[in-house]
Amino acid sequence: MSLIQKNDYDPPKSYVLRKGRITKAQKRALTNLKNLHVLLIETKKIDFTKAFTTSNKTLVADVGFGSGASLVYMAENYRNTNFVGIELYTPGIGSTLNQIEKRGLNNLKIIESDIRELLQNYIENETFDVMVFLYPDPWPKRKHHKRRLLSEDFLELLHKKLVPEGLIYCKTDWKDYYSQIKKEFFLSKDWQKENLRSLPSVLKSLPKTNYEKKAVREGRKPRELFYRKISI
């Protein structure tokens, strides 16, 4: 039985559980390292001050980190910042666990959860300094657009979970999804569009993921969105 209480309105799920092949190395990591680096969801809010052994204050969330390449890069190159990766893709979690152990990343934790349910039930308000969304599922068919994650109601939820002046950074290779997200931010009075030249250094030199390379080969241009939370 799920510990997550359902709301009166449950929006369509913004994801499908991919069934990628799990390698032996990923399986070993899931068996041996999960208890060290994956935060368990219980019946109360997650206390990130206890989750990390570092004294770092800044907390960055990478939502849907896939294989973990960008997440590991950030954590390895910015060890004075804490990172949490949120994902449901098991092979990606296994790969990232191996990299955490290999590189000695005590500033990186993983949460295996749906992001919407996680934020609604287990994350305190004003928790994250930065939230990163690299290539969220575009759900390209029109009949599936309602499943897109970055919608009006989800932006309202993100606003609660970001600290004052907190940041959202998003990349997508689907032009109409980019336009939709941009419109949602524009219609809201809760966000200020930021110049991409003012991106924090942690986001400026992210490695190109395999997905991004494939998108470019297929002629889809990566587009970036960068917004700051307006605190009233």
Task: Show which residues are catalytic.
Answer: 137
Q: Kindly report the backbone phi and psi dihedral angles of residue 45, in degrees, each rounded to the nearest multiple of 5, phi listed first.
A: -65, 145
Spatial separation of the C-alpha atoms in residues 193 and 185, rounded to whole Å: 8
Distance CA 55, CA 58 (A): 9
| CA separation for the pair 32, 37 (Å, rounded) | 10
How far the first Cα of the chain sits from its last, in Å, is 39
CA–CA separation, 96 and 85 (whole Å): 9
